[in-house]
Amino acid sequence: MIRFRFHLTPLADVEPWGDRTLHWFALTDGRYWIEVDGHRLFHHPENADAEQPSPVDYYVVRLWEDIQEVLPALLEPVPADLVHLMTSDQDAWYGAASEDSETAFHWYSGHLMNTSYLVGSPYILWWRSVTDQDTITVDWRHRAGNGLDCTEPRQGRATVATDMFLRAVEEFDRELIAAMDRRIAEIEAGGLAADIRVDLEQLRREHRYRSGSLAATLRRVPDTDWATVREDAARILSARSPEVQ
């Protein structure tokens, strides 16, 4: 099971940006997390510094954008002889990358979500395998020495059927677009304080664009040069220390 969950902040509580303006991105202020195989990503676990578990508090569109950013790469099946690269140590991978291994490095990093905007940012890597059955795997782990977690557990891996993953992505897209459509209608009906400025024409224009974003993303198909990836990967592997190969 996989679900992308979110709650938007009530419109009256959304903080305008510095010049007292709001736009589509800022209006997605809220909380979000991912549920996968009984685990929670982008969700702070209960610990000594928190009274109770809580989702990441940020702009929901960021999760929506980051999933779409990795979607073309993660939907391209990984050849069986390269799956071990997906499960290798990310720090070692980045440490071994060089100019003469750019093709493999860009292929690998295309599967990695950008979480650098979070204080407790984890590595979250997705890939597709069709060796035994058509599945999507997500692997997550927090950087060594990082005491701020936003996954439960701190490190893990889960696998779901590709069609189930795609249904979850499409459902997330529909729910966010519908929620923002209602939010824009609320603004048009006068739901914001009089001193907050919103360009309604631009807001609707961006909403139409973002409503078609997922469909456009799903039409993007990577043109991976597998021969070069294999050559680069062999070079990277040979540069690693034995314990991370």
Number of independent structural domains in the chain: 1
Single-letter code of the amino acid located at 213: S
Residue keyed to tokens 């905007």? 117
E strand segments, the chain: 2-8, 29-36, 39-41, 43-44, 54-59, 122-129, 135-142, 151-152, 155-161
Residue pair 187/203 in contact by the 8 Å Cβ criterion: yes
Contacts of 124 (CB under 8 A, 6+ apart): 41, 112, 113, 115, 138, 139, 140
- What is d(CA 105, CA 103) in angstroms, rounded to the nearest whole number? 5
What is the chain's pLDDT, residue by residue, as a tens digit (245 residues)? 999 999 999 999 999 998 899 999 999 999 999 999 999 999 888 654 555 678 999 999 999 999 999 999 999 999 998 888 887 666 656 665 556 678 888 898 899 998 888 877 888 999 999 887 899 999 998 875 555 678 888 889 999 999 999 999 999 999 999 999 999 999 999 999 999 999 999 999 999 999 999 999 999 999 999 999 998 888 776 766 444 44
The domain of 158 spans 2-244
